[in-house]
Amino acid sequence: MDLPVDEWKSYVLQKWSLLPKSIQVTISTSETLNDLFLHSSALLQPEDEMFLKRLSGGYVVGKDPDASLLYREKGNKKFQAKDYMGAAVLYSKGVSHSGPNSTDISLCYANRSAALFHLGQYETCLKDIVRAQMHGYPERLQPKLLLRKAECLVTLGRPQEASQTIIDLESSFAAKPTLSASQFQILQRTLCRVKVKVQEKKNLPEIFPEALTKTFEGMDLREENEQIPGASSSVTLHIDPLKGRFLVATKDILPGELLVKEDAFVSVLNPGEVPLRPHSLESKWEIQATSGDLHCHRCLRHTLAPVPCEGCSYAKYCSQECMQQAWDRYHSVECSLGALLLTLGVFCHVALRSTLLARFEDVGKVIKKLCGEMSNQGICLPESKTPAQILKYGQGGEGEKTDKAVETPIPGCDINGKYERNYNAIFHLLPHTENHSPEYKFLCAVSVSALCRQLEAAGLQAFTTDLKPTKLKAAETPVLGAELNVWGVAMLRHMLQLQCNAQAITTIQQTGSKESLIADTRRVRLATALFPVVSLLNHSCSPNTSVSFIGTIATIRASQLIRSGQEILHCYGPHESRMGVAERRQKLRSQYFFDCDCPPCEREKQRPSAGPGREAFRCHRCRALLQGDDVLSCSGPACTESVGRDLLVSRLQDLQQQVGAAQKHLRNGRLELAIQLLLGCQSDAESFLSAEHSVVGEIEDALAQAYAALGDWEKSATHLQKSLQVVEVHHGPSSVEMGHELFKLAQVFFNGCAIPEALNTIQKAEKVLLVHYGPWNDEIRELQKMKSCLLDLLPIPVGPKE
Ligand SMILES: [Zn+2]
Ligand SMILES: [Zn+2]
Ligand SMILES: [Zn+2]
Ligand SMILES: [Zn+2]
């Protein structure tokens, strides 16, 4: 998803392999990104562009009124079946495919408002009603819509507005009696009901919607760092020739302290599995929802009621405001390139968007430096213009400054040594050009130059038009080639940076079946982003911080006590609890180009063959652990059992398959069957796996879910406690994984009305989750609700009466 689609990748790699050796050498030994870009770009032929065009033609990104109708009909079916969530998703797809101010779009909005009403999302329902009316909702259907509006307003505690809506409604009845007698009667009855409710509400004080009273307590840095905005004053920036830039604690930091709170400089929503245009009519339109359907393409907020871009069916936003901002900042350029960007992958998209965002900043110095490097290497730029003028970033009289004058001791900082979260910081993230393989560099360069050609064809004007007209001298004829090359080189730099610097924005997604009463959650990747401050943190396989996201904002909290002088570390992915030292080091080497020497790596390197004991096999006779490499022998004192590793590994694979099958039954609601299979897996696992093996934990967790779905809370709790033990061994007692598992256990105790156990578990879960997420977290709020509910249930000690 980050990289271009496989077809384009293999096409470019084949092209590379067919190049004469001499050209391959020229490209792989290019000393600058500029050379790399120009050499590769020169090799991009019209037939290559045609091939790419055919590939991207497979993505549906335009609007199609037929699709709009089909989605609305499918949505109506779900609505009738009372699957309001499913209906809302399909109406949203219908909205995306209809043009503005059409009956199609107004009907989709109106139907979606009905689904939202049933889901209890009254505020959003009201917005959709307004949208339906704005796009020309048919006059004859108005009464139904106005009634829904009145009901929403009543429920939200806004009786005045509700009364006004009813007056409008009645006058529209009087003016145009367009309804049949029976319809009119039904409507009249509902109207009476709503009127009564309005009366009742008028006697009550106004209620504020819960959303407005939510606070952001605990979400702000206690004291912001003067040198690094977005970081806490408890850290400072260091630089070292070997390690590069990194953050160090300036005082003792307690677990849970917020260290970084930073909005992404740039982020691109991962589209999910966007299906290629299918060939059969039956399956023409995808009805599954991807994350691209449920999250705002700008702020990543989850929404059931997105507003689509008016120009494409692909980009969707949580609100008109987000749509407008996205349009002004980047989507006006990206809109017509949707299919190409899906083909070239998210990295290419992030690279393009970064340069588009750069237009909003005074990045003259940075780009000038880039151009300076280019002209030093004899790249022909028109002599009459300084590079700055070419980019239209000229800064009046300051044009003569040399590169040295903007050099600062720490890359990415300004002259005063301040590390700002701006394009300058992004630009200085390391591209590691020398470490990437020649094939990868060629792929990136060719992809970027294909994108540049499309930009040129789509009208470069939109792309390079300066957004600060006050700084723009009289418009000159743009020098397309040179100008585009500068942008191309900048984009190539970003693409190469991304492999090491891209930060995945993740979210917790509910995965269990709809009926399941306990949350089964999974961390999923939502977007790919660049965070200048987060990028300053080095990796450890056992980090001392925990990162989480709210929309596009990343927060990093200390997950343990950090002593003054210690480095602030986070994990790039290969965590010691998830994989062995060899695998971790291999992953870090190939993606991030360094050999990890964090304490767990050093420790495990000393005795690599021992491996982590928790994933061990055990003897079927005496239950002692088995040890050894190819042939394992029993470590029991009086046992002579030995067995080949191959045999054990294949047994484990069989077991994992069985567990997978059982989980599938569980998801599809075949609970009895799932339990039967899982109990078989459990006894099989016991015969050859250690009690702390992760597969044992998976089996227990699935059993707990199955019993919870059956309402057998006691059994569910027993299995969940076993799974909890495995999680604790693997991730540690205060890990975020432990927090999620404790949360589940709290739900099970809560549902089973085991009050003391529930309160005890809630307290533990809250303590762990608070460290990782701070108080602004859905699970913590849920725990607090459970707690207050339980405390209400407890017998209240009788006090003295007044
Ligand atoms: Zn938004
Ligand atoms: Zn668009
Ligand atoms: Zn390590
Ligand atoms: Zn034995």
> Model confidence at 461, in pLDDT bands (50, 70, 90)?
low
As a whole number of angstroms, the distance between CA 756 and CA 352 comes to: 55
From the CA of 320, which ligand is nearest?
Answer: 1
Residue-wise pLDDT for 480-492, tens only, equals 466 677 888 889 9
Task: Name the band, by pLDDT with cuts 50, 70 and 90, for residue 193.
Answer: confident
Q: Are 72 and 111 in contact (CB under 8 A)?
A: yes
Confidence at 464, pLDDT banded by 50, 70, 90 = low
Residue 578 has pLDDT above 80, yes or no: no
Q: What is the 3-class SS of 355-410, one letter each residue?
A: HHHHCCCCCHHHHHHHHHHHHHCCCCCCCCCCHHHHCCCCCHHHHHCCHHHHCCCC
Three-state SS for 257? coil
Nearest to 71 by CA among 111, 100, 126: 111
Give the model's pLDDT for residue 753: 85
Task: Name the residue with tokens 């030995």.
Answer: 642
Whether 467 has a pLDDT exceeding 50, the answer reads no
Among all ligands shown, which has an atom nearest to the Cα of 637? 4
Among all ligands shown, which has an atom nearest to the Cα of 588? 3
Three-class secondary structure of residue 661 per DSSP: helix
Residue 498 CB neighbours (<10 A)? 25
499-509 average pLDDT score: 87
The whole-angstrom separation of Cα 681 and Cα 535 is 43
Q: Where are the beta strands (DSSP E) in 282-346?
A: 307-308, 316-317
CB 541 within 8 A of CB 584: yes
Q: What H or E segment, with its residue span, contains residue 457?
A: helix 438-457
Identify the pLDDT of residue 189: 74
Query: Lowest-confidence range among 16-30, 274-288, 463-477?
Result: 463-477
The listed range with the strongest mean pLDDT (215-219, 395-399, 509-513, 680-684) is: 680-684
Q: What is the Cα–Cα distance from 52 to 309, expressed in whole angstroms?
A: 24
Give 209's pLDDT tier (boundaries 50, 70, 90).
Answer: very low
Q: What is the DSSP string of 552-593?
A: TEEEEEESS-B-TTPBPEE--S--TTTS-HHHHHHHHHHHH-
Distance CA 338, CA 62 (A): 9
Average pLDDT over residues 281-304: 78
Q: Which of 750, 720, 756, 755 is closest to 738 using CA atoms?
A: 720
Q: Count of CB atoms within 10 A of residue 146's CB?
A: 21
Backbone angles phi, psi at 239, to 5 degrees: -135, 145
How close is the Cα of 312 to the center of ligand 2, in Å?
4
Q: How confident is the model at residue 409 (pLDDT cuts 50, 70, 90)?
A: low
- In whole angstroms, give the CA distance from residue 440 to residue 437: 5
* Of 782 and 193, more confident: 782
Contact criterion met (CB below 8 Å) for 394 and 386: yes
- Mean per-residue pLDDT for 200-222? 50
Distance from the CA of 620 to the center of ligand 4, in angstroms?
7
CA distance 725 to 733: 9
Task: Please tell me the predicted confidence (pLDDT) of residue 65.
Answer: 84
Higher per-residue confidence, 515 vs 667: 667
Confidence of residue 570 (pLDDT cuts 50, 70, 90): very high
pLDDT tens for each residue of 752-781: 888 889 999 999 999 999 888 888 788 888
Q: Which of 444, 463, 502 is nearest to 334 (CA)?
A: 463
Name the pLDDT band for 183 (thresholds 50, 70, 90): low
What is the C-alpha separation between 373 and 367, in angstroms, rounded? Answer: 10
Mean pLDDT of the chain: 81
Q: How confident is the model at residue 283 (pLDDT cuts 50, 70, 90)?
A: low
Helix count (H) and strand count (E) of the chain? 33, 15
Tell me the residues surrounding ligand 1 (ion) with CB < 5 Å: 296, 298-299, 301, 318, 322
Does 366 have pLDDT greater than 70?
no
Q: What pTM value is reported for the model?
A: 0.80
pLDDT average, residue stretch 44-53: 93
pLDDT at position 712: 92
Whether residue 99 has pLDDT greater than 70:
yes
| 348 contact partners, CB below 8 Å, separation of at least 6 | 4, 341, 447, 448, 451, 491, 495
Residue 397: its pLDDT value, please? 32
Give the pLDDT score at 562.
94
Distances, alpha carbon 198 to alpha carbons 120, 126, 156, 192, 608, in Å: 18, 17, 11, 10, 72
| Ligand found nearest the CA of 618 | 4
Position 662 scores a pLDDT of: 93
- The predicted structure's pLDDT at residue 778: 82
Distance from the alpha carbon of residue 647 to the mean position of ligand 4, in angstroms: 16
Distance between Cα 519 and ligand 1 center (Å):
26
Nearest ligand, CA of residue 626? 4
Please give the average per-residue pLDDT across 266-278, as a whole number.
74
C-alpha torsion sign, points 138, 142, 148, 152: positive
Residue 729 CA to ligand 2 centre (angstroms): 48
Centre of ligand 3 to C-alpha 116, Å, is 48
- Predicted pLDDT of residue 375: 47
CB 569 within 8 A of CB 539: yes
The amino acid present at 192, given as its one-letter code, is: C
Q: Considering only 168-172, 672-676, 786-790, which range has the smallest mean pLDDT?
A: 168-172
Near ion ligand 4, which residues have CB within 5 Å? 619, 621-622, 624, 634, 636, 639, 641
For residue 95, the CA-to-ligand 1 centroid distance in Å is: 17
**In the predicted model, is pLDDT for residue 516 greater than 80?**
no
Residue 718's pLDDT band (cuts 50, 70, 90) = very high
Which pLDDT score, from 0 to 100, does residue 260 have?
93
Residue 179 has pLDDT above 80, yes or no: no
pLDDT band at 702 (very low <50, low <70, confident <90, very high): very high
SS3 annotation, 711-779: CCHHHHHHHHHHHHHHHHHHHCCCCHHHHHHHHHHHHHHHHCCCHHHHHHHHHHHHHHHHHHHCCCCHH
How buried is 200 (Cβ within 10 angstroms: 0-12 exposed, 13-18 middle, 19+ buried)? Answer: exposed
Ramachandran class of 199: left when φ > 0, alpha when ψ lies in -120 to 50, beta otherwise: alpha
Q: How far apart are alpha carbons 434 and 33 in whole angstroms?
A: 10
Distance 623 CA to ligand 4 centre (A): 6
Rounded CA separation 458/464 (Å) = 12
Ligand 4 centre to CA of 681 (Å) is 21
Q: CA 218: distance to chain centroid? A: 23
Amino acid making up residue 401: K
User: Ligand 2 center to residue 56 CA distance, Å?
Assistant: 16
State the sign of the Cα–Cα–Cα–Cα dihedral 138, 141, 142, 148.
Answer: negative
Mean pLDDT of 743-750: 92
Q: How far is the CA of 338 from the centre of ligand 2 (A)?
A: 7
User: Quick one: average pLDDT of 330-352?
Assistant: 93
Residue 529 confidence class, pLDDT cut points 50, 70, 90: very high
Confidence at residue 444, expressed as pLDDT on a 0 to 100 scale? 95
pLDDT surpassing 80 at residue 643: yes
Pick the closest to residue 402 from 386, 425, 423 (CA basis): 386
Q: How far is the CA of 660 from the centre of ligand 4 (A)?
A: 29
The candidate with the shortest Cα–Cα distance to 655, out of 631, 620, 685, 622, is 685
130-175 confidence digits (pLDDT tens): 999 999 898 888 888 888 998 898 888 888 888 888 888 877 777 6
pLDDT surpasses 50 at 609 = no
- Provide mean pLDDT across the span 111-129: 93
How far, in Å, is the centroid of ligand 1 from the Cα of 220? 21
Instruction: Calculate mean pLDDT across residues 320-324.
Output: 94
Instruction: Output the CA 336–ligand 2 centroid distance in Å.
Output: 7
Considering every ligand atom shown, identify the ligand nearest to the alpha carbon of residue 640 and give its number: 4
Q: Are 410 and 536 in contact (CB under 8 A)?
A: no
Q: What percentage of residues in the chain have a pLDDT greater than 90?
A: 41
The closest alpha carbon to 696, from 652, 666, 740, belongs to 652
pLDDT tens digits along 234-269: 999 988 887 888 999 999 999 889 999 999 999 999
